[in-house]
Amino acid sequence: MTDISSVQTLVDRAVLNVERVMVGKHREVQLVLLALLCRGHVLIEDVPGVGKTVVAKAFAKTIGCSFKRIQFTPDLLPSDVTGVNIFNQQSQQFEFRPGPIVAQLVLADEINRATPKTQSALLEAMEEAQVTVDGATHKLPEPFIVLATENPIEYQGTFPLPEAQLDRFLIRISLGYPGRENELQMLERQHDVHPLELLGQAIGVDELLAAQETVRTVRVAPAVAAYAVAIVEATRRHESVQLGASPRGSLALYNTARAWAAMNGRNFVEPDDIKTLADAALAHRVIIHPGARLRGVSSSSVIRDILATVPVPGAVVGARQRGEAR
């Protein structure tokens, strides 16, 4: 197990390396790394061409882990994802041929183009880090993270992700278009060769696993934990919300806040950590009433409204935790 300062150093090295490829996306890169530290999965929702696939490949190279890409299409079968048992005539036994899900970092590209049956093949893998084929369970390698992408604009030939699937994603992010200066810088970097081809490894898998264990030691004061739960509870009572965040949302907010604190060199969580991560951890778990959607209400605007109304724990919480950290 490493200490908190080592986690911060590891994060800085990884972020700096990925940003050799991803220009002007500092916060988004940090959030993907945060998911890695929490052993969680990321849904990247954005239009084509903004770098969703590139960020997945960049992280795989930065960590030096195994990488597989699944291109989801309507005719993709669950066995195409999980793997299949094939009869070996020489040994007269069935052998398991693992599918592309058996990797440390999996890019589920355009996940909403697959049928619900195929999408559900990911549920066990994402929740329990294992797949079951013909009654036999196969463990997935560590670390294991799914980076799924979807285009929120295109609806033809797509299948909306079910709530059970959305709830398995720790966070949802959007990359967005780069600024003018960042886009010019991107053109310059790709003048001769794509920087992804030159990207090397910055951290090791063992370092990441050790950092994951360290994140679990970050303390959360009862008042801060109660603040996180109050925010989640408020999503269930909001007038514009049809279905609020589940208890898994509370866990996601709690764990991401601990990882965020460690990434910033602290072994305790502050209320601001909760506020910073509320949208990324909760917005995709909130279903808005159809009438409210017609008025332009979004899940992110509901989270902002809740953050503005739920009382924040007093400064005494942070002072008490700093005293305990000494």
Rounded to two decimals, the pTM is: 0.89
Tens of pLDDT, residues 218-249: 999 999 999 999 999 999 999 999 999 999 99
Using 50, 70 and 90 to split pLDDT, how confident is the model at 158?
Answer: confident
b/e code 90-100 from CB counts within 10 Å (16+ = b): eeeeeebeebb
Looking at CATH, the fold of the domain delimited by 218-325 is given as: Helicase, Ruva Protein; domain 3 (1.10.8)
Class of residue 35 by CB neighbours under 10 A (exposed 0-12, middle 13-18, buried 19+): buried
Tens of pLDDT, residues 179-217: 899 889 888 888 888 888 889 999 999 999 999 999 999
Look at residue 318 and tell me whether its pLDDT is greater than 60.
Answer: no
- pLDDT value at residue 316: 44
SS3 track for the chain: CCCHHHHHHHHHHHHHHHCCCCCCCHHHHHHHHHHHHCCCCEEEECCCCCCHHHHHHHHHHHHCCCEEEEECCCCCCHHHHHEEEEEECCCCEEEEEECCCCCCEEEEECHHHCCHHHHCHHHHHHHHCEEEECCEEEECCCCCEEEEEECCCCCCCCCCCCHHHHCCCCEEECCCCCCHHHHHHHHHHCCCCCHHHHCCCCCCHHHHHHHHHHHCCCECCHHHHHHHHHHHHHHHHCCCEEECCCHHHHHHHHHHHHHHHHHCCCCECCHHHHHHHHHHHHHHHCEECHHHHHCCCCHHHHHHHHHHHCCCCCCHHHHHHHHHHC
Picking from 129-133, 228-232, 248-252, 254-258, which range would have the lowest pLDDT averaged per residue?
129-133
- pLDDT value at residue 95: 86
Stretch 135-148: mean pLDDT, rounded? 91
Look at residue 91 and tell me whether its pLDDT is greater than 50.
Answer: yes
Using 50, 70 and 90 to split pLDDT, how confident is the model at 160?
Answer: confident
Domain boundaries, the chain: 4-212, 218-325
CA distance 7 to 259: 9
Look at residue 100 and tell me whether its pLDDT is greater than 50.
Answer: yes
CATH 3.40.50.720 applies to domain 4-212: no
Fold equal for 4-212 and 218-325: no
Look at residue 276 and tell me whether its pLDDT is greater than 50.
Answer: yes
- Mean residue pLDDT of the chain comes to 89
- pLDDT value at residue 189: 85
Using 50, 70 and 90 to split pLDDT, how confident is the model at 322?
Answer: low
Stretch 20-25: mean pLDDT, rounded? 89
b/e code 287-312 from CB counts within 10 Å (16+ = b): bbeeebeeeebebbebbeebbeebee
Using 50, 70 and 90 to split pLDDT, how confident is the model at 117?
Answer: confident
